[in-house]
A = this chain, B = another copy of it.
């Protein structure tokens, strides 16, 4: 747990930010109980490595953090809220990675897309357990669905803008609405990466994920309608 606490410096202090109306965490601000909150998050991350979300109870999280179940509810309103907090961190990481790619120097397009896909893939691959758990939580929690929808919406808007820019400068031919293309391709990324991490059903091997996705993105964006 202390290993988590040290890494956790970068954990967004969301619950402390200005106005937390119906926010995830509970307590208004600083006190010694921060340790407990961190311990809960660390326990969640640890337990998710060994078993699926559905097999982890609030009691497991509480005991793992050295507190009783009612006390858990002092820190988080539900099990999902813990996951949401953990997820925010990964999403922030993914966004940062994307920023690094889409920013500044636009090298050749192929390389740009390749880096973006790799950044996306790497971020989620290094948080395999969390990524798989999120997919499970999404099925049952409207809150999780909402957060994910927001995240995807940002990516889609970004891709849409890039595709339109490429079309404007004549590098990419016309075709379906750029946004629809972006949605479909982003959806593909999500499902393919999840499949390769979760291991159920037919999956692309980890090393082949980016090459295959890249090929499909490039031909979809830059390829002419084939006869």
Chain A positions near chain B (C-beta within 8 angstroms): 54, 135-140, 145-146, 148-149, 152-153, 156, 175-177, 179-181, 183-188, 190-192, 195, 200-205, 208, 211-213, 215-216, 218-220, 222-227
- Within the complex, the shortest CB–CB distance from A192 to chain B, in Å, comes to 5
On chain B, the residues within 8 Å of A146 by CB distance are 200
Main secondary structure of the interface of A (DSSP, over half): helix
- Protomer copies: 2
Q: Are B176 and A202 in contact (CB under 8 A)?
A: no
Specify which chain B residues have a CB less than 8 angstroms from the CB of A54 in the assembled complex.
139-140
Write the nearest CB–CB distance from A37 to chain B, whole angstroms. Answer: 26
Question: Across chains A and B, which 7 residue pairs bring their CB atoms closest together, nearest first?
Answer: A188-B188, A139-B139, A223-B223, A149-B201, A222-B226, A187-B191, A219-B223
Chain B residue with minimal CB distance to A132? B139
A174 to chain B, nearest CB (A): 11
Closest to A172 in B: B226
Chain B residue with minimal CB distance to A54?
Answer: B140
Residue from B139, B190, B202 in contact with A153 in the complex, judged by beta carbons closer than 8 Å? B202
Closest to A181 in B: B212
Q: Is the pair B219, A226 in contact by a Cβ cutoff of 8 Å?
A: yes
Residue of B nearest to A175 (CB): B215
A176 to B217, CA, bound (A): 13
Contacts of A212 in B (CB 8 A): 176-177, 180-181, 183-184
Residues of B within 8 A of A137 (CB): 139
In the bound complex, residues from chain B placing their C-beta under 8 Å from that of A219 are 219-220, 223-226
